[in-house]
């Protein structure tokens, strides 16, 4: 594959016409030729090529028109952080428009029955996170890919209260996705290890973004060592020590930890001119009923005890970035962290107000910047609007990124990447059902 030039090596003018204070251009027009082979392969119904999940084989092409005929559809996006150091973009205060719950069997309910309540712990609590791993743990089946299904169910159940675009049945959102997918975008300019694959479909003028597991991620998941399984449990066990099922209750650490259960908030907001609807799992809320969501929500985390300046620096540079990005997006104001020793005992608990995170990291040399995260995400969403032009529920723009590379994409019709289910497409009143593969 031809080497893609960095935006700064090119002499093109700003193409997005939206961002007027960008000093350098992250977009670049690269002209990959599409081979007859790739076009055939991807137009075949129901085919799914695993090699696409491997970054080294991931080429960029477009079925239909050639890049030469339509250069706007053949672009890449740079993730170099220097390109995104400009003023913080407009990010509207997120507003909760609803919530839903997933029960112990992972069934969807259009209500808040799985909401839990935060219980203030001792400052030095001694929670044993190992307790129950062998005998009181029901683990969600991670091989089941739910894609956006729960969010789509919530949309159908709440269509009347969601504002529609004038004179159509379309949703008044540019993007629908999980908060976790947006978190990955926010942290991309600083990510050095894990790439991602996002499937994007335009349907009735809304872009739906759903993650596809990369081959590397699948390998990691299937070969996860036992200590890693245990540490994943520790995070859920901490939640059990910190949460009660009702506002006046107490935590019950003798119960079963079941990771099928979830309470999810659905929020709407706007990042510059991108109207977003996304959902994220929330651990618990403040008992005080006078604080409205999402300000009442609390994100719970565990982290290794910090004993040295190096550990503190790493915590600021890597962990706080992920924590900030995840909670900033839905407007969750605080993270409560349990610091554990090597044996899995929580020895201290600390609160990190999201609004104070930038102060905490400001003395850290070469540290991450919130503005870079938000500007990259904003430009990425503009990039998606630019490339994902065909409004068709069975067409997927597969957008791919690996560390040290640019974002690239490929287009797939009626492939295994299609993720909008027929029940959703039909309920939304599509005229394009005949194209759709269930």
- The interface partner of residue 89, options being Ca ion, ligand 0WD, none and the CB cut-off 5 to 8 Å by kind, is none
Cα of 29 vs its chain's centroid, Å:
26
Q: Which residues contact 157 (CB under 8 A, 6 or more apart)?
A: 110
In the complex, the smallest distance separating the C-beta of residue 263 from ligand 0WD, rounded to whole angstroms, is 9
Name the one range near ligand 0WD by CB under 6 A: 80-88, 174-182, 190-198, 267-275.
174-182
Sign of CA dihedral 246, 235, 109, 148: positive
Residue in 326, 300, 282 with CA at minimum distance from that of residue 242: 300
Query: What φ, ψ does residue 30 adopt, rounded to 5°?
Result: -110, 145
CA distance 228 to 235: 11
Query: Closer CB to ligand 0WD, residue 95 or residue 232?
Result: 232
319 makes contact with ligand 0WD (CB under 6 A): no
Contacts of 328 (CB under 8 A, 6+ apart): 186, 354, 370
Please, what is the Cα angle at 198 between 395 and 26, to 5 degrees?
105
Does position 127 interact with ligand 0WD (CB under 6 A)? The reply is no
Q: 74 or 183, CB closer to ligand 0WD? A: 183
Question: Which residue of 80, 140, 317, 319 would you call a contact of ligand 0WD, by CB under 6 A?
Answer: 140
Identity of the residue, 39 or 218, whose beta carbon is nearer to ligand 0WD in the bound complex: 218
For residue 127, the minimal CB distance to Ca ion (Å) is 15
Which 294-313 residues touch ligand 0WD, going by CB under 6 A?
301
Residue least distant from ligand 0WD (Cβ): 180
Please tell me the distance from the alpha carbon of residue 104 to that of residue 219, in angstroms, as a whole number.
27
Which candidate, 251, 194, 244, 238, places its Cα nearest to that of 220?
A: 194
Query: Considering CB distances under 5 to 8 angstroms, the limit depending on partner class, which of ligand 0WD, Ca ion, none binds residue 406?
Result: none
User: Cβ(285)–Cβ(296) under 8 Å?
Assistant: yes
Question: Please, which residues bridge with residue 138 across strands?
Answer: 258
Residue 155: count of CB within 10 angstroms of its CB: 22
Residues contributing to the site for Ca ion (CB under 5 A): 283, 300
Residue from 215, 273, 281, 390 touching ligand 0WD (CB under 6 A): that is 281
**Residue 108 structure tokens:** 């969807």
CB-wise, 73 or 259, nearer to ligand 0WD? 259
Member of 179, 204, 316, 436 binding ligand 0WD (CB under 6 A): 179
Compare residues 40 and 146 and give the one whose CB is closer to ligand 0WD: 146
Among 180, 231, 247, 405, binds ligand 0WD (CB under 6 A): 180
Q: Restricting to residues 231-260, which ones interact with ligand 0WD according to CB under 6 A?
A: 235
Cβ-based nearer residue to ligand 0WD, 301 or 369:
301
For residue 383, what are the CA distances in angstroms to 18, 41, 90, 104?
11, 25, 18, 39
Q: What is the CA radius of gyration of the chain?
A: 22
**What are the residues binding ligand 0WD (CB under 6 A)?**
140, 145-147, 150, 178-180, 183, 211, 235, 262, 280-281, 301, 326
């Amino acid at each position: 594959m031809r080497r893609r030039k960095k935006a700064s090596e090119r002499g093109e003018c700003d193409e997005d016409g939206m961002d007027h204070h960008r000093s350098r251009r992250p977009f670049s027009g690269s002209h990959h030729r599409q081979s007859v082979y790739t076009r055939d392969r991807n137009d075949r119904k129901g085919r799914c090529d695993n090699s696409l999940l491997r970054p080294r084989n991931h080429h960029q092409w477009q079925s239909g028109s050639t890049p030469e005929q339509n250069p706007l559809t053949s672009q890449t996006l740079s993730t170099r952080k220097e390109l995104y150091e400009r003023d913080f973009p407009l990010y509207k205060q997120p507003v909760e428009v609803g919530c839903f719950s997933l029960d112990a069997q992972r069934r969807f309910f259009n209500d808040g029955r799985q909401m839990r309540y935060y219980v203030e712990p001792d400052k030095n609590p001694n929670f044993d996170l190992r307790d129950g791993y062998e005998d009181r743990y029901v683990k969600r089946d991670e091989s089941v890919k739910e894609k956006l299904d729960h969010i789509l169910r919530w949309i159908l159940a709440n269509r009347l209260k969601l504002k529609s675009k004038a004179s159509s049945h379309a949703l008044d959102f540019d993007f629908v996705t999980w908060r976790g997918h947006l978190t990955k975008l926010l942290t991309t300019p600083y990510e050095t290890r894990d790439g991602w694959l996002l499937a994007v479909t335009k349907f009735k003028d809304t872009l739906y973004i759903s993650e596809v597991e990369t081959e590397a991620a699948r390998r990691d998941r299937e070969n996860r060592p036992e200590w890693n399984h245990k540490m994943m449990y520790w995070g859920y066990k901490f939640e059990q020590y910190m949460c009660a099922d009702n506002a006046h209750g107490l935590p019950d650490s003798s119960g079963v930890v079941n990771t099928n259960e979830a309470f999810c908030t659905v929020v709407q907001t706007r990042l510059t001119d991108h109207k977003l609807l996304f959902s994220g799992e929330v651990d618990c809320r403040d008992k005080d009923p006078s604080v409205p969501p999402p300000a009442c929500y609390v994100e719970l985390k565990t982290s290794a005890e910090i004993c040295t300046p190096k550990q503190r620096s790493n915590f600021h540079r890597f962990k706080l970035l992920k924590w900030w990005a995840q909670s900033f997006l839905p407007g969750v104001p605080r993270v409560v962290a349990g610091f554990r020793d090597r044996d899995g005992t929580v020895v201290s608990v600390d609160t990190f107000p999201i609004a104070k995170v930038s102060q905490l990291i400001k003395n850290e040399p070469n540290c991450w910047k919130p503005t870079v995260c938000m500007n990259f995400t904003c430009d990425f969403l503009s990039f998606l609007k630019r490339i994902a032009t065909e409004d068709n529920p069975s067409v997927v723009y597969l957008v791919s990124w690996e560390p040290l590379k640019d974002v690239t994409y490929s287009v797939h019709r009626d492939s295994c990447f299609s993720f909008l289910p027929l029940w959703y497409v039909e309920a939304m009143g599509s005229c394009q059902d005949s194209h759709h593969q269930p």
